[in-house]
Amino acid sequence: MAMTLKRKNPVDLIFSSITALASVTVILFIIGIIYVLISESSLSIEKFGIVKFLFSTEWNPVKEDFGALTNIYGTVLTTVLSLLFAIPVAIGIAIFVTEIAPNFLKGPIGVAIELLAAIPSIIYGMWGLFTLSPIMSNYIEPLLKKATANIPLVSILFQGTPMGIDILTASVILSIMIIPFTASISRDSFNLTPAVVKESAYAIGATQWEVVKNVILPYSKLGVFGGVVLSLGRALGETMAVAFVLGNNHRISTSLLDAAATITVTLANEFAEADNDVYLSSLFYLALVLFVMSFITLAIAKFFLLKAERKYSR
Amino acid sequence: MKTIFRLALIAALVFTFAQVEAAEMLSGAGATFPYPVYSAWAYDYNKVTGVQLNYQSIGSGGGVKQITARTVDFGASDDPMKPEDQTKQKLLQFPAVIGGVVPVANLGNVKPGQLKLDADTLCKIFLGDVKKWSDARVTKLNAGLKFPDGEITVVYRSDGSGTTAIFTNYLAETCPAWKEKVGAGKAVKFPVGIGGKGNEGVTNYVKRTANSIGFVEFAYAKQNKLVYIQMKNKAGNFVEPGFESFEDAAETGDFDAKKGFYLWLTNAPGKQSWPIAGATFILLAQEKTGVNKQTVKFFDWAFTNGDNKAKELVYVPLPKSLKDKVRAYWKAKGIQ
């Protein structure tokens, strides 16, 4: 590296040093954040240990007894549910925009998707609280409850009074938030499918459905997967959109109509007024857990992406 | 070259002005609850004196931390700091505004102020022991009111807040079962119910949920025309939440300058006292006499000229007797 730098002319040298410096700052930031998270949570790590903290359902600021399980549960559940809701819709949007929509519709839909992504998450939160939550509690949730009442196991998911402040509402808001990410990345990767291949498929008599299923999706599954992973990251860390409609309830419940807490919601709700050291330290500990969770998710995603890429390039 | 020179000149000018501004600037940080009234006072004070006040509402915990670290001129906190902690951190403390917490309900056609409760029943409802409004413990306090048979939904604050601290302190003080099972603090583990984020969240849920009960700051109950509940106070009278009953609580509450005014203003003994009130406090660094004089000047001005503004924003100004106590405290500490 140093050798190649020396041979370059001075302007290039300065230019490459500046870009290198910029990249190094990112790594420094990450290391700094990890350092702060660990040092601030050390008190809580000492008191509760790792296993006990991760598997304790207790969250009681008055008794100074903290555990992360209820938060992890809420985070994972809302994220998975929102992906389940968002992925089909997002891929549907992408297919419609790239393959089916007439040209005059492509522009407006594309802009609408990008606008959806640009709305600040607090707006989703307030909209969720004042608009979506009453709709959920008055219409959708009673309907779901009725429809599933006689199905064993499924009915467990819809127990309790529909309040509109629950895992289901939060997941719906999250899914609306992440649709633009999945949709626009999927759209871009669908567009990368070579026109020749598509036209050949049509030429041998394939229907639109067959072209999408057998040509476009196989060509672009990596990109779609990338979009899903990005959305996953967004859903894991999303805070304000769900803070208003999740209730910050530190209990593990099997019903989707119950309030819950995610790591970020707990942080947003309790950070400002956390007044004793163990409490504050436990909140930092929670943040550390989220950091590790995001890291593991991204690592797994990256692993699969690389593996698929290698297979694909052969 | 000319433009660069011009830019430099402008920068220099701006910098000089910034320097002048800095000399006449007070910085504070802390509680979110009094933020609207502090900034309204600051706006008027700036017009009169030219002094700028920069108040960051980052939460009481943050306010205490910042003044302890001496990064601001004053800190603001919704919960009183204990005298021993004041000594330890070398801080001075005095109350600035009074606030009240009001239980509110959503109960068919029951109107604001019609429903009456005492501390014990309120506590049993929040513990989940009293499950229905038609429970005998509620109806015996409310002869003549018709109650629906549905289950009570309790709504509490999901975020840590001074409002929760005042409310739970009241329950812990008046109800041994609450003290033992739940305790008091800015965030507690409520045994039953659903959590709303902020006063606006609780207001929203109570309005929407039939047969619910919650607690909010007085301003929210008033502005949203919620069905507030009359409470039985320590003297045994049922009182309505309002400026008079909050002021009565502040007047009869045992604020002691020797303890740096450390007091939870719950269950005050006055005949007309609202039982669930609290003061919000200002914290000063003991050694910064010069800065403290500036801060005190601001609050002295606000005590004299700011009562109407505070009431307009539905805050309760300190009663005269308490203002006098605070002024005497300033004099004794040599900062006025």
Q: Name the helix (H) or strand (E) containing B332.
A: helix B320-332
The reply to whether A220 falls in a domain is yes
Q: What are the tens digits of pLDDT across the range B209-261?
A: 889 999 999 988 988 889 999 999 999 999 999 999 999 999 998 899 989 99
**Cα distance from A60 to chain B (closest Cα, Å)?**
6
Contact B205/A165, CB-based, under 8 Å?
yes
d(CA B227, CA B117): 13
Helix (H, G, I), strand (E, B) or coil at B117: strand
With 90 as the cut, is the pLDDT of residue B331 above it?
Answer: yes
Domain extent for A236: 80-269+293-313
At a CB cut-off of 8 Å and minimum separation 6, what does B73 contact?
B26, B27, B28, B284, B288, B291, B292, B294, B295
Contact B158/A130, CB-based, under 8 Å?
no
The pLDDT of residue B116 is: 94
Between B199 and A276, the higher pLDDT residue: B199
Interface probe, candidates B85, B163, B208, chain A, greatest A C-beta count within 10 A: B208
**Cα distance from A259 to chain B (closest Cα, Å)?**
7
User: Is A134 near chain B, with CB under 8 Å?
Assistant: yes
The reply to whether A284 falls in a domain is no
The pLDDT of residue B22 is: 46
d(CA A21, CA A17): 6
d(CA B311, CA B305): 12
CA angle B292, B294, B296 (to 5 degrees): 65
Q: Which chain B residues are within 8 Å of A259, Cβ to Cβ?
A: 194-195
Percentage of chain A beyond pLDDT 90 is 43
Q: What are the tens digits of pLDDT across the range A46-77?
A: 999 999 999 999 998 888 899 999 999 999 99
**B202 in Cβ contact with B221 (< 8 Å):** no
Interface probe, candidates A273, A281, A282, A284, chain B, greatest B C-beta count within 10 A: A273
At a CB cut-off of 8 Å and minimum separation 6, what does A121 contact?
A177, A238, A239, A240, A241
Contact B59/A273, CB-based, under 8 Å?
yes
Give the residue on A whose Cα is nearest the Cα of B210.
A163
Confidence band of B19 (pLDDT split at 50, 70, 90): very low
**CATH code: domain of residue A199:** 1.10.3720.10
Strand ranges inside chain A, DSSP E: 59-60, 65-66
Nearest to A273 among B60, B182, B184 (CB): B60
Predicted TM-score (pTM) of this structure: 0.81
The reply to whether A306 falls in a domain is yes
Task: Give the Å distances, CA to CA, from A7 to A10, A12, A13, B86.
Answer: 9, 10, 9, 65
**Cα distance from B199 to chain A (closest Cα, Å)?**
11
**B241 in Cβ contact with B40 (< 8 Å):** no
The reply to whether A54 falls in a domain is no
Candidate from B12-16, B72-76, B138-142, B269-273 with smallest mean pLDDT: B12-16
Q: Which chain B residues are within 8 Å of A133, Cβ to Cβ?
A: 208
Q: What are the tens digits of pLDDT across the range A223-250?
A: 888 888 888 888 998 888 888 888 888 8
Contact A270/B194, CB-based, under 8 Å?
no
Residue reference for tokens 């999250």: A174
> The complex's ipTM?
0.73
The reply to whether A45 falls in a domain is no
**Residue B274, φ and ψ in degrees, nearest 5:** -75, 130
Candidate from A65-69, A95-99, B80-84, B147-151 with smallest mean pLDDT: B147-151
The reply to whether A278 falls in a domain is no
Burial readout B68-81 (b: 16 or more C-beta within 10 A, e: otherwise): beeebbbbbbbbbb
Q: Which chain B residues are within 8 Å of A130, Cβ to Cβ?
A: 204
Q: What are the tens digits of pLDDT across the range B3-17?
A: 555 655 555 555 554
Give the residue on A whose Cα is nearest the Cα of B77.
A273
Q: Which chain A residues are within 8 Å of B79, Cβ to Cβ?
A: 275
Please say whether the dihedral angle defined by the alpha carbons of residues B39, B44, B50 and B51, taken in this order, is positive or negative: negative
Q: What is the mean pLDDT of residues A94-117?
A: 89
**Cα distance from B108 to chain A (closest Cα, Å)?**
17
Number of CB pairs, chain A paired with chain B, less than 8 A apart:
89
How many structural domains compose chain A? Answer: 1
The pLDDT of residue B33 is: 86
With 50 as the cut, is the pLDDT of residue B48 above it?
Answer: yes
d(CA B248, CA B75): 27
Contact A272/B61, CB-based, under 8 Å?
yes
Q: What is the distance in angstroms between the CA of the first residue and the CA of the last residue of chain A?
A: 30
The reply to whether A275 falls in a domain is no
The reply to whether A167 falls in a domain is yes
Q: Which chain B residues are within 8 Å of A271, Cβ to Cβ?
A: 59
